[in-house]
Amino acid sequence: MKYAAVFAFLACTGCAIHQLAAWHLVQQGSGQVLIPPDVTRKNLTRRTFTTAAVGSGPCPAVSGVIDVTRRGKHARVTVTASKLNEQPAEWLRAWASQLEAQGCLASGEGLKLAERIADSVVLDPAGAFHLLYRDDRKTGEVDIDQRIRLQVVSPLWREAGVGMIDGQIQSVTGTDTHLTVTAKASDNLLGYERTLYSVQPKTTKTGYVIQPLYTDRTIQSSTGGATERRPLPAINYFQFPADAAFYRLFYESTQTDFAALVVAGRTISELERRTEKLEASGASASCKILNDDMCNGIPKDVAVNPVIAVSVNGVEVLMPRGATIGTVLRLPATAQSIGALGQLQVLRPWNGRLVPVTFDHTDPGILRVILRGGEVISRQ
């Protein structure tokens, strides 16, 4: 995955700029912090960098947290680490998206600036993730941006509306975050489609467009299943008017007729208002609440999974957002996993490029680092 750099010059308050080295995962108190590649000490509390501020719109600051001073086509951004770390979930991403919506930044640059700010000071890896994304397990909502890919699994029926289960459900197991349901499929289930969508910045306008990358269609038979790759799915649940720009998945929390709603907005503010309207409607939430405007329902028999892409030993792997390095390697962050860390190498995105992460190979803490998407992991 490649990232366009939006930063022309980098300056640091209280530390010396040196040749690009690496991320450093180090112990601090009872936890660990990631030191950015251009920072020389872990107790840095404040720093400044310069970023392109394309556009004529305002660039509002948040006093004491992020101060923005515009100078021609650029802006000096000063970040105070302690105040930044006090902000609620997704605050940083929402603030940067507002800059993009107001014309301070070019289309698609809001998330890049948010990530650059999170990567400019010393933070706990989980804290940095918290600033960029809401806890969708608690909220039931997922913001869709260019870091996300969408994996949709849809059944193929011989006859629509008959159903997929023959008889009763045999078992239901799992936790509060996932469930496994075991049942016998009916003869009505012909097969399934698995479609992967990408989220790309619009070329001339603010916001994103959701596009299918490919569809794998599998038809079941007595001898197994035959899979055919197609460019488009039978049904695209992410088709919206041309002026749609920002999107959010709204998962069901009660017994409803849908598995999820995909809500769109022309601006971040409009998307927030539309989501609040759905939240206020409680159990009756549906696209009808929004007059079916920029809202698509996903049926209960269709699974939609937001995922991120990382590379493991040269192979692209799709993982849930919020997954850790330990998750993708199937290694728990315990002393028993230390023996597997000797040949582990991790490259992490920073300022438009991939740089290595240095860490103590006798400490399993590296396995708790949350993946953001675009990391390259190798292990002999």
Q: Can you tell me which residue has the tokens 């936790």?
A: 175
pLDDT of 13: 36
Separation between Cα atoms, residue 125 and residue 108, nearest integer Å: 24
Amino acid identity, position 182: T
Containing 129, the helix (H) or strand (E) segment is helix 125-132
pLDDT of residue 230: 95
Residues 6+ apart with CB under 8 A from 15: 39, 40, 41, 44, 47
Tokens representing 324 are 């850790």
pLDDT at 308: 93
What is the C-alpha separation between 238 and 236, in angstroms, rounded?
Answer: 5
Give the model's pLDDT for residue 305.
92
Q: Is the dihedral of CA 62, 66, 68, 74 positive or negative?
A: negative
Distances (CA, A) of 6 to 37, 54, 205, 322: 17, 10, 17, 25
Residue-level pLDDT at 184: 58
Beta-bridge partner residues of 292: none
Beta bridge partners of 157: 189
Candidates 7, 77, 55; CA nearest to 206 is 55
Instruction: Identify each DSSP E strand in 158-281 by its residue range.
Output: 171-174, 179-182, 189-201, 208-221, 224-230, 246-251, 258-265
Contact 164, 301 (CB under 8 A): yes
Q: Quote the crossing angle between the two packed helices 268-281 and 91-101, to the nearest 10°.
A: 130
- pLDDT tens series, the chain, 380 aa: 333 333 332 333 334 334 458 999 998 888 899 999 988 777 888 889 888 766 777 887 787 899 887 777 788 889 998 899 889 888 998 888 788 777 787 766 787 888 889 999 998 888 888 898 877 766 788 889 888 999 999 988 887 666 555 555 555 565 544 556 565 566 778 889 999 999 998 887 778 999 999 999 998 776 777 899 999 999 999 999 999 999 999 887 656 667 889 999 988 878 888 988 988 887 778 899 898 889 999 988 899 999 999 999 999 999 998 899 999 999 999 989 999 898 899 999 998 889 999 999 999 999 999 999 999 999 86
Evaluated on CA atoms 142, 144, 255, 281, the torsion sign reads positive
Pairing of strands 315-320, 66-71: unpaired
Give the per-residue pLDDT at 127: 87
The candidate with the shortest Cα–Cα distance to 129, out of 143, 115, 111, 146, is 115
DSSP, res 263: E
pLDDT of residue 11: 36
Asked if residue 60 lies in contact with residue 68, where contact means CB atoms within 8 angstroms, the answer is: yes
The backbone torsions φ and ψ at residue 355, rounded to the nearest 5 degrees and listed phi first, read -130, 155
Q: What is the pLDDT of residue 1?
A: 37
What are the structural domain ranges in the chain? 23-133+331-378, 143-304
**What is the rounded distance in angstroms from the CA atom of residue 188 to the CA atom of residue 186?**
5
Cα separation, 275 vs 279, whole angstroms: 6
Cα separation, 346 vs 360, whole angstroms:
12
Closest by CA position to 297, among listed 236, 239, 208, 237: 237
Cα gap 115→107, rounded to integer Å: 15
